[in-house]
Amino acid sequence: MRRWLLPLGLIALLIGAWQVAASTGAIADALSLEDFLVPSPAEIAEALWESRDLLAENAWVTLREILLGILCALAVGIGFAIAMHRSQLLRDASYPLIVASQAIPIVVIAPILTIWFGFGMGPKIVIIALICFFPITVNALDGLRSVDPETVKMMRSLNASRWQRFWRVEAPTALPSLFTGIKIAVVVAPIAAVFAEWAGADAGLGRLIQSDLANYQVARQFAAVAVLAAMALLLIGLTALAERRVVTWR
């Protein structure tokens, strides 16, 4: 109860303060802006309701990009983490590359990928996967490496093959750490999606935010951001739920 009431209370308080400051024109005056550039929460809610179909349509596009991007990052990231755990050579050789992959500014790479692969889903999935790959891989690898060497000795002495050691000891040991990686990935994925869509897209929340920005549709822009934030909350909630179902021993 407390876990829900406290954040909800804080959000209500912030929205209330914002409502007062925006509707009295206090923020716009302080920033010397026109009133319509600083929408109040009530106006954003109105925009959210009025454009609900448009927002839902675009949110669905972005959500699909995010889910597919995370799935790709999971498949490649877990595969890579296992390979790097198995092979010291591969680990030493590719670790700097993986860190470097995280340093690539998406704003730079996104337009290039759009030129290469066009305006469709493809480049968005690649960009989101690229961003999510790092936290997933690094956390999965850390998890695999946190296996107690004594447990490995015990398992070897109990006739466990390499695969049995992996499935019965290493994989379950790595799971909590992997979920940490997924949680980080799902909250950065919407940001990556927006950048990917800005580089060239015909649909999606990022694309909608971009066109609303050009048309001074500030209230709807905030509404789109709220939808994006709700999406991140939903994804992290689902991840936490999955973690509780899978990692039952913690």
Q: What is each CA distance from 34 to 22, 25, 38, 129, 216, in whole angstroms?
A: 11, 9, 8, 40, 11
Question: Cβ of residue 239: shortest distance to another protein, in angstroms?
Answer: 19
If the CB atoms of residues 2 and 250 are measured against another protein, the closer one turns out to be: 250
Contact 25, 35 (CB under 8 A): yes
Output 111 or 176, the one with its CB closest to another protein: 176
Pick between residue 52 and residue 153 the one whose CB is nearest to another protein: 153
> Nearest distance from residue 179's CB to another protein, in Å?
14
* In the complex, least distance from residue 174 CB atom to another protein, rounded to whole angstroms: 12
Residues that bind another protein (CB under 8 A): 148, 150-151, 153-161, 164, 168-169, 172, 248-250
What token pair was written down for 122? 């493809």
User: C-beta of 74: minimal distance to another protein in Å?
Assistant: 21
Taking the complex as a whole, how short is the minimal distance between the CB of residue 142 and another protein, in angstroms?
18
Closest approach, Cβ 144 to another protein, in A, equals: 15
Residue 133 or 179 with smaller CB distance to another protein = 179
Of 35 and 148, the one with the shorter C-beta distance to another protein is: 148
CA–CA separation, 176 and 146 (whole Å): 11
- Nearer CB in complex with another protein: 98/174: 174
Question: Chain-centre distance of CA 52, in angstroms?
Answer: 23
Q: What is the 3-state secondary structure (H, E, C) of the chain?
A: CHHHHHHHHHHHHHHHHHHHHHHCCHHHHHCCCCHHHCCCHHHHHHHHHHCHHHHHHHHHHHHHHHHHHHHHHHHHHHHHHHHHHHCHHHHHHHHHHHHHHHHCCHHHHHHHHHHHHCCCHHHHHHHHHHHHHHHHHHHHHHHHHCCCHHHHHHHHHCCCCHHHHHHHHHHHHHHHHHHHHHHHHHHHHHHHHHHHHHCCCCCCHHHHHHHHHHCCCHHHHHHHHHHHHHHHHHHHHHHHHHHHHHCCCC
Between 152 and 203, name the residue whose CB sits nearer to another protein: 152
**At closest approach, how far in Å is the CB of 143 from another protein?**
13
